[in-house]
Structure 1
Amino acid sequence: MQIIEVKNKKDSKDFLDTARVIYKNDPVWVCPLDQEINNIFDPKENVFFQNGEAIRWVFKDDQGNLIGRIAAFINENKANFGAQRIGGIGFFESVNDKSVAFKIFDTAKKWLVERKVNTIQGPINFGENDSFWGLLVEGFTHPSNGMVYNPPHYRDFFEAYGFEKKMEQLTNHLNITDGLPERFVKIAEYAISKKTNLTLKPLDANRFDECAEDFMEIYNAAWAHHENFTPIKKEYVKDTFKKVKPFYDPNYIWFAYVDGQPASFVLVLPDVNQILKHFNGKINLWNKLRFVMLKRKKTITRLRVWAMGTHPKFQNTGLESVLVYKCFEGAMKSHYVEGELSWVGDFNDKMIAIHKALGAVPGKKHITYELAIK
């Protein structure tokens, strides 16, 4: 077996092509954009390199055929938590051979141990957890943009190697054409009518900077109490907004303000994977033109709820229900037929309750694993 550290353009191409080899006969898989993956490992594009480091490997058999890949990384802002020093692995792919998979894990573990890591989490992303996070273990259907898709047997590889479940990430599906449950609508409309100090605003491209500031304020306050949390920076939020600008719809990204204070947000995006599945990871000029044409033809029929958050001062006031109602109120009058509510940690009882109140049903389950190095 050949173990090759990614150091140049050829190696980087092999890293990308490994997934194409693994999934060449899988009609469900959607190839992520090459540029999106490359940017994750580019210090000029990924702010996480300011306080961390990452490495990638490609694996080939003795004949030079691609058989696997993996990335390992450490974020010093999140690495040290009590007695744990945490590193991550992600973008794992392997042929269906446990000995190959274990060698891939061994390579990443060795690099992390050299950096004094005693706990490995994976598969995760060298970035925020809204994309490329967790191992798919249930619901091997069309993956929405940013959601991990992998063969079912990867679970056996992780668990046989010694990885144990840290948390489950639940994704529920909503049939938009059915409409929202009457009780949910009444609660949301009542909350809107009674809150005279409440202002609702969609994301405005002309005030991206202000919206990024509000998003950051709400998000950091909402997640501050969670384990090993590191506040996101405005730079990251602005980059995210720029990334979604070509395809976002202001009808599905809303902010709530109470007495003028940023209180809650919901970020819902069209599932561009329904178009990107035709591009095989390439976003050249021709595909950009195809994207515009396919979008106009209303090829995208699914919405994905990427993120929601409410400032602790305004939690338990029904703001989440109000914003979800605003999003799906418009969606029910559009060409969209499905909403994907992803992903919610199994620890988030409040959000799980909202999903149930909406009438959503289980769709997918991902697991974030953890390996204690002894």
Structure 2
Amino acid sequence: MQRGVIVPDDQIVITPVVSKADRKAFVDLGMRFAASTPHSVPQLRGEMLELIDPAKNPFFEHARVALFIAHRTGRPVGRISAQIDELALKLPAKQGMGPGTGMFGYFDAEDETVGRALLDKAEDWLRSEGMTRVLGPISMSIWEEPGLLTFGHDHSPTIMMGHHPAHYQGWIENYGYSAAKRLLTYHLDTSKEFSPLIQRIVKSGERNPKIVMRGADKNNFASEVRIILDILNDAWSDNWGFVPFTDREIAYAAKKLKPLVHSEIVRIVELEGVPSAFMITLPDVNKVLKEIDGKLLPFGWFKLLRWSKNPVDSDMRVPLMGVLKKHHNSRLASQLAFMMIDGIRRDAHAKFNTQRAEVGWILDDNQGMVAIAEAIESTINREYLIYEKPLLD
């Protein structure tokens, strides 16, 4: 707000984030909203600052990003991001993004009037950058926190999943947005054996000499990450919303996630010596973040470090799995998925006393993965919607 300018009490002033202090204010505002949302989990402030720092997050190397904060009578009352992923612009439109598609994310607002002003600001910025369509909320990459929580507000999210007040859905839809894609997560009771049919499929695969399944080798972590990401970029390449990882993003993600990787709950499958499938499971750090209230000092860092080395009694999340595209729509693909899920389920329960896991997110029209989730008797526990809207002149 400019000095000396008199602003009516009810006028909303939206300012861009341009400095380090502004980025801190943007993150602190998000933390304030999260603290007032039931079942939200406080995240580490430093991690959130890093995600919106162009000097640290390699997403900015292929994206144009604008961050905004809304004020009323000098008090911050909302925030939003608007971003254009240059890699997403190159994708076919049938895969959900493509030419002319920008995004909004980090949406928080004190009331619907503020929300409309923020959405309007993000849309105006995207138009000024030549965009003709907007998707959101996506904060900020499709690989970070995509979608708005529309079902499952009654329990806390697991690691790397968003959590939003229920009333945001109405605000966004009232401003002309319609659902573009539905993302699902599934609850799995890891203490239960799978059905006899699934067990027979798993045992058949285990007897097949062409199939070799192993855990991750953390002594060769960089090469293991490369194997997994090569499979991922192939397996997901036709999926809605898929944007390939860059080399810098691979290194960045690997560094951040390495403390949470345990070989017992990761699987890589080779078919006749060729890496062909993988499944990553991460212990749910949100449980600890809740206990330390997202604060590393004075003793939170020690508790977090000790937990990460041996996450006993933790829930788990399966954020990523994939089978090479040439095996899609085959019985083999389903068999490999069942083998990986069952192996990790058994090891997580035996080593870490895990009672519950969350699988996803899964696109609701990914018939193969939905069928697998149903076959292992998991149930939908959270739903996220990604919205779209044409940007008219």
Q: TM-score of the superposition, structure 2-length normalised?
A: 0.89
Q: Distance in 2 between matches of 1:281 and 1:5?
A: 27
Partner of 1:322: 339
Q: Distance in 1 between matches of 2:170 and 2:49?
A: 28
Q: Is the 8 A contact 1:275 1:300 kept in 2?
A: no
Q: 1:227 to 1:142 in 2, by over 3 A?
A: closer
- Corresponding residue to 1:190 among 204, 219, 229: 204
- Corresponding residue to 2:225 among 204, 212, 237: 212
Q: 1:84 to 1:162 in 2, by over 3 A?
A: farther
Deviates more, 1:78-87 or 1:149-158: 78-87
Partner of 2:108: 93
Q: Distance in 1 between matches of 2:56 and 2:297?
A: 19
The CA deviation string for residues 152-194 of structure 1, in whole angstroms up to 9 with x for no partner, is: 000001100111111100111011122322321221111121x
- Corresponding residue to 2:183 among 159, 169, 172: 169
Partner of 1:259: 272
Partner of 2:87: 77
The CA deviation string for residues 43-82 of structure 1, in whole angstroms up to 9 with x for no partner, is: 23222222221111111210x3221111111011212545
The CA deviation string for residues 320-366 of structure 1, in whole angstroms up to 9 with x for no partner, is: 11111110121232411101011100121101111111110110100
The CA deviation string for residues 110-130 of structure 1, in whole angstroms up to 9 with x for no partner, is: 11100111110101133243x
- SS of residue matched to 1:147: coil
> Does residue 1:159 correspond to 2:173, yes or no?
yes
Q: 1:20 to 1:170 in 2, by over 3 A?
A: same
Q: 1:9 to 1:299 in 2, by over 3 A?
A: farther
Q: 1:146 to 1:289 in 2, by over 3 A?
A: same
Q: 1:366 to 1:373 in 2, by over 3 A?
A: same
Q: Distance in 1 between matches of 2:54 and 2:33?
A: 27
Q: Is the 8 A contact 1:274 1:299 kept in 2?
A: no
> Does residue 1:66 correspond to 2:76, yes or no?
yes
Partner of 1:44: 55
- SS of residue matched to 2:146: coil
Gaps of at least 5 residues in structure 2 are: 1-11
Counterpart amino acid of 1:217?
D
- Corresponding residue to 1:7 among 18, 21, 25: 18
Q: Is the 8 A contact 1:174 1:360 kept in 2?
A: yes
- Corresponding residue to 1:150 among 164, 167, 183: 164
Q: 1:30 to 1:44 in 2, by over 3 A?
A: same
Percent identity (aligned): 25
Q: Where does 1:102-121 land on structure 2 (aligned, <5 Å)?
A: 102-121=116-135
State the shift of 1:295 in Å. Answer: 5.3
Q: Is the 8 A contact 1:136 1:366 kept in 2?
A: yes
Partner of 2:318: 305
Q: TM-score of the superposition, structure 1-length normalised?
A: 0.93
Counterpart amino acid of 2:236?
W
- SS of residue matched to 1:177: coil
Deviates more, 1:231-240 or 1:158-167: 231-240
Q: Distance in 2 between matches of 1:370 and 1:281?
A: 32
Q: Distance in 2 between matches of 1:260 and 1:87?
A: 41
Q: Is the 8 A contact 1:217 1:262 kept in 2?
A: no
Counterpart amino acid of 1:302?
D
- SS of residue matched to 2:49: helix
Q: RMSD in angstroms over aligned alpha carbons?
A: 2.0
Q: Distance in 1 between matches of 2:214 and 2:262?
A: 13
Deviates more, 1:99-108 or 1:31-40: 31-40
- SS of residue matched to 2:26: helix
Q: Distance in 2 between matches of 1:300 and 1:135?
A: 29
Aligned residue pair count: 370
Q: Distance in 2 between matches of 1:77 and 1:296?
A: 36
State the shift of 1:201 in Å. Answer: 2.1
Q: Where does 1:291-302 land on structure 2 (aligned, <5 Å)?
A: 291-294=304-307, 300-302=313-315
- SS of residue matched to 1:93: strand
Q: Is the 8 A contact 1:72 1:90 kept in 2?
A: yes
